Structure formats: structure tokens, C-alpha cells
Amino acid sequence: MPRLSFTTLVAAPLTVAFDVARALRRPWPGPLEEVESVRPVRDVYAGPGHGRRRVTHTRRYTATRAGTLVEEEVAWVTAGPLGRLADAVLRRRLRREMAAHLDGYAAAAARRALDVVQVVGVALVDGDRVLVARRSGGPYDGRWEFPGGKVEPGETELAALVREIREELGVVVVPRGFVGEVVLDGVVAGGAAGESTLRVWWAEVDTTAAVTAHEHSELRWVAAGELDSLDWIPADRPLLPAVRALLADR
Ligand SMILES: Nc1nc2c([nH]c(=O)n2[C@H]2C[C@H](O)[C@@H](COP(=O)(O)OP(=O)(O)OP(=O)(O)O)O2)c(=O)[nH]1
């Protein structure tokens, strides 16, 4: 089966990358239908494409430190005795059309990302322990989370991270690496439910200063084995394997 692959880095969180792709649909003259949708990590469209060949178009969305990596594959069935020749022509045409579509898609997703409030969190690491914080007040009162908060308009994610931790814990941190991204089930700052994501980085305290709870009711340094037993905000749980792996490497 002939196939083509494309890779695009979109400056948008997972949910925005997925939702904008869905709104734009797929760029084929035939009406491809969505046959599978696992928001926000994978979707598959299929249907009659160019020359009425059946086309299957699969996209995978992966969170990276620089945004959402969109990897896709277009596969089609070769038809008729002149199939190979037709495939070569089709391949060129698909490449051209996909390039134009992906440019427009990446720009539209980056624009949309500016209107969706993002949350950034920190897995603050010291040796083989990570800092967890208990929320005080609001809908998640008493639940454990990664300290952090909303990225403000015009602010970069890492600037927001450093600002939030200074406000909440009274220390300056140095971001070291990207841990992962999860969809927030709640409503963040008046947006739609499930629209915002939490992107977590791991970081270290820049000096020997001690962390202080300015906004949380409790802070705890915990080892990998203690993470599961805490009463987390439910959306955060899928991040725990990555945090455990981070601590195991140290
Ligand atoms: N900081 C943080 N927020 C989380 C986590 N998990 C999760 O669902 N959230 C949600 C709760 C809130 O709806 C939103 C973050 O809001 P926040 O109240 O902490 O942010 P902020 O400091 O900017 O708040 P604000 O007082 O300025 O309104 O993300 C998490 O692990 N860390």
C-alpha cells in the first residue's frame, strides 16, 4: 500500500492542536470521514480521496517541550493497470497539498493557542524526592498538585513557571526538562471544560533557599514510592509514571 508521512511541530498544547485539526478536517477533495478519535492523541480519517481511491489518514499528537508534534501518515490503495504511474503522480500532488494544508494548520493552531489559558506546573526535584503541594481553597481544596499556575497573556511558559514558583514557594527555580502534558478536566479561567492542559517541567531550586508555602496548606518532599498514595487532582495522575521515572534516574 503506498503511503506518505509528514511531521509538523505545532506551537500549541495538545488539545488545541487536536481541536484545530478537527475543525479544519482533512484536505482532500473526497469527503474523508473521521473513523477514530482519541482526543487529544490520535485521530483517523478515511474515505474516497483523489481519483476515488480509498485514502486513510492517521494523525498522532505528542506533547514535546516545544509544543505538539503531529506525525501523520496518508495511505491509499493502488488502482488499475496504470496504478504505479498514477501513484507517482498522486504522491507529488499529495505532498504539495499537504504542505499547504500543514502550513495553514500550524498557523491556525498557534493563533488559537493564544486564546486558551494554559497551566504550567513544576516537579521540583531534590535528590530522589519531588515536592508536592496541597491546594488550599477552591474546587480542588485539599488535593495534591504540582505547584504552578496559569500562563499570563504574552508570557512564555517558562517565564510563567519561574514567576509562579517564586510567588507560591518563595524560591527561584531552574527548569531542567519537560515531563509531560495532561488535559485538565475542569474549567480554567472561564474557558471550556477540557480545553486547557497542564504542562509539567522538572526543575531544581537555584540556591540553597528553602521552599515556603505561601499559597498551599502543606508542602511535602516525597519519594517515588509515595506518589501514588496521595489524593491528587485527578487530571494529574497520568503524569505520575513520568515523575517516578525521573526520580529513578537520579
Ligand atoms: N498549579 C496546578 N494547577 C493545576 C494542577 N492540576 C490541575 O488540574 N490544575 C488546575 C487548577 C486550576 O484550575 C488551574 C491552575 O490554577 P491556579 O489557581 O493554580 O493558577 P494561578 O496561580 O495562576 O491562579 P490565580 O490565583 O492567579 O487565579 O489548573 C496542578 O498540578 N498544578
ipTM of the complex: 0.95
Is pLDDT of 48 > 80? Answer: yes
Ligand 1 close to Cβ of residue 148 (< 6 A):
yes
**Is 236 a pocket residue for ligand 1 (Cβ < 6 Å)?**
yes
**Residue 32 in grid coordinates:** 474523508
Residue nearest to atom 19 of ligand 1 (CA): 149
198: pLDDT strictly greater than 90 = yes
Check pLDDT > 80 for residue 35.
yes
Mutation to probe ligand 1, out of 119, 145, 239 (largest number of atoms < 8 A from CB): 119
Instruction: Please tell me if the CB atom of residue 132 comes closer than 6 angstroms to any atom of ligand 1.
Output: no
What's the pLDDT at 118?
A: 97
The residue nearest atom 26 of ligand 1, judged by CA position, is 149
CA of 131 to the centre of ligand 1 (A): 16
Q: Could you tell me the pTM of the whole model?
A: 0.93
pLDDT at residue number 86: 82
Task: Give the pLDDT confidence score for residue 28 in this predicted structure.
Answer: 80
| Backbone region of residue 173 per phi and psi (left: phi > 0; alpha: psi in -120 to 50; beta: other values) | beta
| pLDDT for the residue numbered 30 | 75
184 in ligand 1 pocket by Cβ < 6 Å?
Answer: yes
Domain spans of the chain, in order of start: 3-114, 117-249
pLDDT at position 81 is: 73
Question: Closest residue (by CA) to atom 24 of ligand 1?
Answer: 149
The predicted pLDDT at position 137 comes to 94
pLDDT range class, residue 205, cuts 50, 70, 90: very high
The set of long-range contacts for 96-104, using a CB threshold of 8 Å and a minimum separation of 24, is 97/27, 97/28, 98/4, 98/6, 98/27, 98/74, 100/27, 101/24, 101/27, 102/6, 102/8, 104/24
pLDDT of 95 reads 93
Give the distance (Å) from ligand 1 centre to CA of residue 120: 8
Does residue 14's CB lie within 6 angstroms of at least one atom of ligand 1?
A: no
User: Which CATH number, 3.30.420.40, 3.40.1190.20, 3.40.50.300, 3.30.530.20, labels domain 3-114?
Assistant: 3.30.530.20
- Residues 68-125 have pLDDT tens digits of 999 999 999 877 777 788 888 889 988 999 999 999 999 999 999 999 999 999 999 9
Over range 44-48, report the average pLDDT. Answer: 92
Q: What is the mean pLDDT of residues 125-139?
A: 96
CATH architecture of the domain with range 117-249: Alpha-Beta Complex (3.90)
